[in-house]
Amino acid sequence: MAATFDPLPNIQPEIENAAQSGELVVFVGAGISRLINCPSWEGFADRVLDQLAPEGIDYYELAQIKNIADPKKRLSIAKLVAREKRIKIDYARIFDVSLSSPNIYEYLNSFNSSFVTTNYEKYILPLSRKKDPEKDWRFYRREHLLGVNLDHNGNVIHIHGCVDEPESMIITTRDYLEHYSSQEVQQFLQYLFEKKTVLFLGYGLEEIEVLEYIFRRGGASPPESQRIRRFILQGFFQAEWALFEKLRSYYRESFATELIGFPKDYRDYAQQMEIIKIWSSKLKFEHMALADEVLALEEEIRG
């Protein structure tokens, strides 16, 4: 009998334990935002280009640039044109969507963990920080990529910048290379992978390149003797079981990361909402112990 994916996979004990000890970090990718109709990379690139016509480029040039296959190349060209023509791109408008209820963020925001996201938009709004000024828990500038900001439940760290400050947004290929070569980003990722249990959400097969880049820059290859502390919830069709098994072995051996599969056959990636809904009701969150916070801060100061 062929193996099948569980539509509602159980929470790994390591994830439950990390939530209870205040060591869980939820790492949110673009796949989560697409469930509320935020654009894909393709859509993002095209919407940025649309804001350049006709003042920055004519419609023939727009059509030509849109034919370039790589969205990051299209975005790189758009950024150059916008700078040359002094056109201000309204990134916030691109990610402004109407939320229906229920939606996945309603459940995700009930997680009282810290969050890291590669998304620019601000739909991660932890309920635990609802009454606190946003500046105290939302961070997106490179100088704010500090391990200590992961030690407080409800903090949200935009590792690729935020629509509130377009200058902080990591968009082009050059942006990525420079950003991930910086000491601040590498130290932040090293702290994340050494000190925390990380649950990755919203990274499908099409985002593997981004995910692996993050792993490699963060040195996410601990000795085999260490327990697995990274988990990826990823969707597959039932017919892709053999692919799933190969990828699961690859992630385990290359990055000490466990792949948790769910079936896309019935609701595609929207199945994630049902999973997160169940997990949000079962996970119990506690704050990081004060002694651990002090030790982490001392290590960051030394490092």
The residue behind tokens 């082009």 is 172
Confidence at residue 225, expressed as pLDDT on a 0 to 100 scale: 47
Which fold would CATH assign to domain 13-38+100-302?
Rossmann fold (3.40.50)
Domain ranges of the chain: 13-38+100-302, 41-94
Q: Which of 34, 56, 73, 43 is nearest to 204 (CA)?
A: 34
Instruction: Report the alpha-carbon distance of residue 100 to residue 94 in Å, rounded.
Output: 18
Q: How far is CA 113 from CA 16, 140, 160, in A?
A: 11, 17, 19
Pick out the chain residues at pLDDT < 70: 1-2, 218-227, 288-303
Q: Record the pTM.
A: 0.89
Record the tokens describing residue 211, joined without a space: 């995910």
Total Cβ atoms within 10 A of residue 87: 15
Residue 91 contacts by C-beta under 8 Å, 6 or more apart in sequence? Answer: 48, 120, 163, 166, 169
Confidence at residue 294, expressed as pLDDT on a 0 to 100 scale: 45
Residue type, 181: S
Confidence at residue 222, expressed as pLDDT on a 0 to 100 scale: 53
84 and 90 Cβ atoms separated by less than 8 Å: no
Confidence at residue 149, expressed as pLDDT on a 0 to 100 scale: 96
Confidence at residue 151, expressed as pLDDT on a 0 to 100 scale: 94
Instruction: Report the alpha-carbon distance of residue 39 to residue 166 in Å, rounded.
Output: 17
Helix (H, G, I), strand (E, B) or coil at 190: helix
- Strands 197-201 and 156-158, sheet pairing: unpaired
Instruction: Report the alpha-carbon distance of residue 236 to residue 280 in Å, rounded.
Output: 22
Confidence at residue 209, expressed as pLDDT on a 0 to 100 scale: 72
Please give the backbone phi and psi of residue 262, each rounded to the nearest 5 degrees, phi first: -135, 155
